[in-house]
């Protein structure tokens, strides 16, 4: 049976092949410069600086959507694979040794933060959207607190209605002891630790436990509470995912600019203090 390779897989393969070729070329060039007793650190440094500028240009392209400057998706592909290449280039430039001195340590730290945050961002960008797409209604991040509040009020109203109609406190006790925490806004750390999933199954279990002791009228309310619990789980997933998808950029972008400034300072110092041959 013929297996057709899909577009993204094809693109990934092509880009990875290009990256491999570029990486091999960089190493070969490094070796050639080394053999020719040329200042390979200087060349690799400028190549790295140029690459950093090109990587940063992606952000500038986003600010100029009206200019016919290729699609942002092409820029992202370049950004991702050049990012990988820059790690190799950085390794060659530093000759894969630990940094010494304040400027070198600062530069290496900044580079590590930018590169790592980039990898994390790439992973988040590819893994979280399918999770959000399957968790329920897509929501706008800014509107989530409003929905959280509404849902909590809806759940509380349901509980009050059940208590009034049945005259017992079974549903009220369930809510106070086991569900009220679920309806509170969750922190992003809770999402990272997988808490919403655990809370969802625990809340549903608790509703099941109470159901056997309640009457027909309360069963209906419990069913509605189950729906609310599931909706809250979707809200937590959307909120946590969207927070992370936005949050990593708050690390990546400021540190990129810091890296760029420090790199320019480094280049200036090198140019000023390198003795001419």
Partner 1 sequence: MPTELTSPSIPQRWDSPFDSLLAPEIIALLLQDAPLPEELPDEASRALQMLIRVKSAPALAGIDPTRFPQHLPLDGILLNDARLLTKDINEIIIREGDYGNSAFVILRGSATLIADNLPDHLLGRGSRERKGFMAMVKGALRRKGDPEARVHHTERFEAGSDQGDAPSIFLQDVPRVLDGSRTHTIHAGEMFGEIAALGRCPRNATIISAEANTEILEIRWQGLRDLMSFAPEFKEHVEDRYRQFGLRPLLEGLDIIRRLDPAHVDTLVQETRFERHGRFDWYGTYQKLLSASSAADRLRNEPMILMESDYINGLMIVRGGFVRVSHSHHGGEKTISYLGMGQTYGLTEILHNRAHPDQIIPAQHSLRAIGYVDILVIPTHLVEECIIPSMTPSEIAEHSRPLRTQSETDDLALSDHATRDARERLGPGIMDFLMDKRTINGSAAMLIDLDRCTRCDDCVRACASTHDGNPRFIRYGDHQEGVQVAQACLHCHDPICMIPCPTGAIHRKDTGEVVINDSTCIGCSSCADNCPYDNIQMVEIRDEHGLPQFPSHHEQDGGRLNLFSEGSLKRATKCDLCFDQKAGPACVRACPHDALQRFDMQDIDSIAQWLSR
**Binding interface with partner 1 (CB under 8 A):** 2, 4, 6-8, 62, 64-68, 70-73, 75-76, 124-125, 128-130, 132-134, 138, 140-141, 242, 245-246
CB of 73 to partner 1, least distance (A): 5
Quick one: 138 or 194, whose CB is closer to partner 1?
Answer: 138
Give the DSSP letter of residue 277.
Answer: -
What are the distances in angstroms from CA 274 to CA 36, 105, 238? 19, 20, 53
Q: Which residues, at least 6 apart from 178, have a Cβ–Cβ distance to it below 8 Å?
A: 202, 203, 206
89: tokens are 């280039």
CB of 218 to partner 1, least distance (A): 28
Quick one: 55 or 199, whose CB is closer to partner 1?
Answer: 55
- Residue keyed to tokens 């997933």: 237
Q: What helix, strand, coil percent values describe the chain, rounded to 5?
A: 80, 0, 20
CB of 24 to partner 1, least distance (A): 28
CB of 161 to partner 1, least distance (A): 25
Quick one: 126 or 277, whose CB is closer to partner 1?
Answer: 126
CB of 263 to partner 1, least distance (A): 24
CB of 143 to partner 1, least distance (A): 9
Spatial contact of 108 and 101, defined as CB atoms under 8 Å apart: no
Spatial contact of 215 and 189, defined as CB atoms under 8 Å apart: no
Quick one: 62 or 184, whose CB is closer to partner 1?
Answer: 62
3-state secondary structure string across 96-150:
CCCCCCHHHHHHHHHHHHHHHHHHHHHHHHHHHHHHHHHHCCCCCHHHHHHHHHH
Quick one: 138 or 215, whose CB is closer to partner 1?
Answer: 138
- Residue keyed to tokens 């992003």: 188
Quick one: 198 or 246, whose CB is closer to partner 1?
Answer: 246
């Amino acid at each position: 049976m013929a297996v057709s390779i899909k577009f993204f897989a094809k693109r990934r393969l092509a880009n990875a092949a290009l990256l491999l070729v570029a990486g091999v070329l960089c190493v070969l060039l490094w070796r050639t410069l080394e053999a020719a007793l040329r200042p390979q650190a200087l060349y690799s440094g400028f190549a790295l600086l140029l690459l950093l500028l090109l990587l940063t240009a992606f952000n500038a392209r986003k600010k100029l959507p009206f200019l016919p400057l290729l699609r942002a998706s092409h820029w992202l592909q370049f950004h991702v694979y050049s990012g990988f290449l820059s790690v190799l280039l950085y390794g060659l430039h530093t000759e894969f040794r630990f940094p010494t001195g304040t400027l070198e340590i600062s530069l290496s730290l900044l580079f590590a933060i930018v590169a790592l945050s980039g990898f994390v961002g790439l992973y988040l960008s590819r893994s979280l959207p399918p999770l959000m797409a399957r968790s329920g209604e897509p929501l706008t991040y800014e509107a989530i607190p409003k929905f959280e509040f509404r849902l909590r009020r809806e759940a509380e109203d349901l509980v009050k209605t059940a208590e009034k109609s049945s005259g017992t406190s079974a549903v009220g006790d369930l809510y106070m002891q086991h569900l009220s925490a679920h309806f509170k806004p969750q922190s992003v750390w809770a999402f990272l630790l997988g808490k919403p999933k655990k809370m969802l199954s625990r809340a549903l279990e608790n509703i099941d436990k109470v159901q056997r002791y309640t009457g027909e009228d309360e069963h209906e309310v419990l069913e509605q509470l189950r729906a609310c619990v599931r909706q809250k789980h979707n809200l937590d997933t959307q909120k946590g995912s969207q927070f992370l998808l936005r949050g990593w950029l708050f690390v990546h972008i400021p540190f990129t600019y810091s890296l760029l400034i420090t790199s320019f300072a480094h280049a200036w110092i090198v140019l000023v203090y390198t003795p001419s041959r």
